[in-house]
Amino acid sequence: MVSFQPSEEQQLIRDTIASFAHEQIRPHARDADENGAVPAAIVQQGWELGLVQSSIPEAHGGHGDTRSAVTGALIAEELAWGDLAVAMHLLTPRLAVWPVLMLGSAEQQTSVLGAYTGNSFRTGTAAVMEPRFDFDATEPATTAHRSNGGYVLDGTKCYVPLADQADRIVVTARTDGGGVGAFIVDRDTPGLTIGEREQHMGIKALATYTLTLESCRVPAAHRLGGDDANVLALANHWRVGLAAMAVGVARAAFEYARDYARERHAFGMAIARKQAIAFMLAEMAIEIDAARLLAWEAAWRIDRGLDATREAYLAKNYAANVALKVTDNAVQILGGHGYIREHPVEMWLRNGRGFVTFEGLVML
């Protein structure tokens, strides 16, 4: 039966994450952006929230919670409201863990999952994007050829978060059959080179790297889910995650601009009392809710086991546009002050612009 009310448990999780975002993340967001680093203390506190360990089965040392994309969307929005780069940093290990949970065989789960249930942050990551303007996750240029009972990977990946400290990287690549496979590549595999840290317009606190794979040989057992596994099912999970994060960033910007507009006076009254500003704020509020509901619906379909390809894709694209429009409006509403780094809105605009580009940077 249709309902827009999170369950009590979801509400509790959401409140916990929201206060963490409010009290721990937000106060450090600007510095993190300026310094290009997420403070270690936040990383550790984030780890202690169990964002990664929660869904790992108890048999492997995790909490054994059922994975829910809807709950994930609630969490992602709150974290991103705090700060997008921090949110992505905290969730990066999921990029390695979730594919194994979703596609991995019993042996693969046993060999991988245990590492991510300890007391301190443990990095795993995934390499999905490639440096091309028309990059398409469904048709990677990176290839995986069968050879001598294993696979040989060749290609270049970019936007790989925390690659320098990850001990394993899940790499997507086109297989000989034309499908897209996911391969667990250990950090020290010969042929894998981790390049310089990338410099981006936004999410500057998140360390991302370019990777090159040159005749990089991995055992057949490292292909997730065996020969026919459909890695593209993972795309729904990251797209909804990105949609939810876009909503979080947009909401942050909206709230800031709304409060500012109530305080700032021009021509004898608060600028929020001018329709040009008030209507902008109204549209921002409507579009944020619209994007959130699309993300929830796609997440709900995932949880229900329904096909969510269309919904997740549309939700992500929609939310990416909303994030851009809303953060841009927020800068506009602050006028010249919006352009100054003393206020966070310019940072949110730089971060918000990224959503159209991002693929595979987060997992629900």
Q: Which residues bind another protein (CB under 8 A)?
A: 1-7, 10, 70, 133-139, 232, 235, 258, 261-262, 272-273, 275, 278-279, 281-283, 285-286, 289-291, 293-294, 296-297, 300-301, 304, 309-310, 313-315, 317-318, 356
Question: Which CB sits closer to another protein, 194 or 278?
Answer: 278
Q: Residue 138 CB, nearest distance to another protein (Å)?
A: 6
Beta bridge partners of 186: 168
Question: Which CB sits closer to another protein, 9 or 48?
Answer: 9
Residue 157 three-state SS? strand
Q: Residue 329 CB, nearest distance to another protein (Å)?
A: 13
Question: Which CB sits closer to another protein, 67 or 262?
Answer: 262
Q: Is 359 a catalytic residue?
A: yes
Beta bridge partners of 197: 209
- Alpha carbons 100 and 111: distance in angstroms, whole number: 10
Phi, psi dihedrals of residue 197, rounded to the nearest 5°: -65, 135
Q: Residue 9 CB, nearest distance to another protein (Å)?
A: 9
Going by C-alpha positions, the residue among 273, 249, 231, 38 that lies closest to residue 127 is 231
Question: Which CB sits closer to another protein, 79 or 247?
Answer: 247
Question: Which CB sits closer to another protein, 134 or 188?
Answer: 134
DSSP labels for 275-301?
HHHHHHHHHHHHHHHHHHHHHHHHHHH
State the catalytic residue, choosing from 77, 78, 130, 359: 359
Question: Which CB sits closer to another protein, 103 or 218?
Answer: 103
Q: Residue 213 CB, nearest distance to another protein (Å)?
A: 21
224-230 own/partner pairs: CB under 8 Å, 24+ apart: 224/99, 224/100, 224/103, 224/104, 224/108, 224/170, 224/181, 224/182, 224/183, 224/184, 225/103, 225/104, 225/105, 225/182, 226/105, 227/177, 228/179, 229/103, 229/181, 229/182, 230/179, 230/180
Going by C-alpha positions, the residue among 316, 330, 346 that lies closest to residue 283 is 330
- Alpha carbons 207 and 89: distance in angstroms, whole number: 8
Q: Residue 317 CB, nearest distance to another protein (Å)?
A: 7
CA distances from 239 to 6, 14, 76 (A): 21, 20, 12
Q: How far is CA 135 from the centre of its chain?
A: 18
Q: Residue 310 CB, nearest distance to another protein (Å)?
A: 4
Residues identified as active-site: 359
